[in-house]
Amino acid sequence: MTVHRLATSVALLLAALAYFVPAVAGGSPVAYAACTTIAILAVMSYGADLILSYLGEVSLGHTIFWAAGGYAAALLSVNAGWSGLPTAAAAVVVAIVLAVALGLATLRTREFVFSLVTYAAAVVAMEIAFNWSFLGGSDGIVGIPPLTIAVGSWRLSASGNDQLWPIAWVVLMATLLFIHRFRHSRLGTSALMVQMNPDLATALGIDARKVRLGVFVASAPISALAGWLYAYQRAYVGPDMFETYFLVLMLTAIVIVGRRLLLGPLIGTALIIVQQTFFSIGGDGDKIVLGSVLAAILLLWPRGLVGLWTVLASRPRVHGR
């Protein structure tokens, strides 16, 4: 109990400290932009993380939910004048509907067929976004108003990155809390069991398909909320939200530190965005860096940097023997 209390206090303290990171990092617009972007993209990655870490499958379709969140925010705020909370709710609903449909369609697929079908779905979604004038076609939707959140008489309107940061922070913390809860939930533990030992899971009466669908549907709103915030940050959405960049970023962020770690995707995203913001070697060069990191990690230390750490840490003991 006291250990639990201590852990909770430490977590809360860390969360509070995280809030001040951009201010401590100089408080410049660049610092706020980087931190907000890290928070948004990390949340996007957490959606895919649920699938990769807990189902052991590679979803190549999470850009759909990410874009769905963005398009929901853009359409409803620009055309209907909705404020932030209703657009967020709409983003979540749209993502869940899409995830149920895609989840049912892919229910019987595994491994690369699952990956390719989810990818194919993303290609279809992009083609639709690109061609359908309702979604702005190839030009996308411009002129998204500042993010306003109204609760009762309290109102908040955020336009720049420094104003969006508190909201990004809240979304990130809520996501972390959700993932933490998920890891200890029935669904989370069942998912792990289905991944590690499907026969045992079946013997224990776990319905693998239900679990897969459940995790898939739970993961979609996370990426969608990230897309929702991204739309406000850029004041624009377009078919570029389907780009492979986001896909590769999600996967790299997840594997770089190590799968099934609560803070893994956040730290991974931070490393990538810091490289691309402060140590960029040009767009194409950054692609080479991101792709190489992804491949190298899995080939050299399949368990991520944490695995590398264990290797290094255990070395002296081996020599000592």
CB 230 within 8 A of CB 67: no
Alpha-carbon distances, residue 141 vs 136, 153, 162, 224 (angstroms): 5, 30, 23, 17
* Beta carbon nearer to other proteins, 235 or 260: 260
* Beta carbon nearer to other proteins, 118 or 233: 118
Q: How far is the CB of 287 from other proteins (least distance, A)?
A: 3
* Beta carbon nearer to other proteins, 235 or 298: 298
**Rounded Cα gap, residues 94 and 98, in angstroms:** 6
* Beta carbon nearer to other proteins, 7 or 113: 113
CB 138 within 8 A of CB 132: no
Q: How far is the CB of 255 from other proteins (least distance, A)?
A: 7
Sequence-distant (6+) residues with CB within 8 A of 4 are none
Q: How far is the CB of 209 from other proteins (least distance, A)?
A: 12
| Token pair for 285 | 């060069």
| Token pair for 254 | 């997840």
Q: How far is the CB of 304 from other proteins (least distance, A)?
A: 12
Alpha-carbon distances, residue 308 vs 22, 158, 299, 304, 305 (angstroms): 29, 41, 12, 7, 5
Q: How far is the CB of 240 from other proteins (least distance, A)?
A: 12
- Positions that interact with other proteins (CB under 8 A): 52, 56-58, 105-106, 108-109, 111-113, 115-117, 119-121, 123-124, 127-128, 131, 244, 247-248, 251-252, 255, 283-288, 290-296, 298-299, 302
* Beta carbon nearer to other proteins, 111 or 207: 111
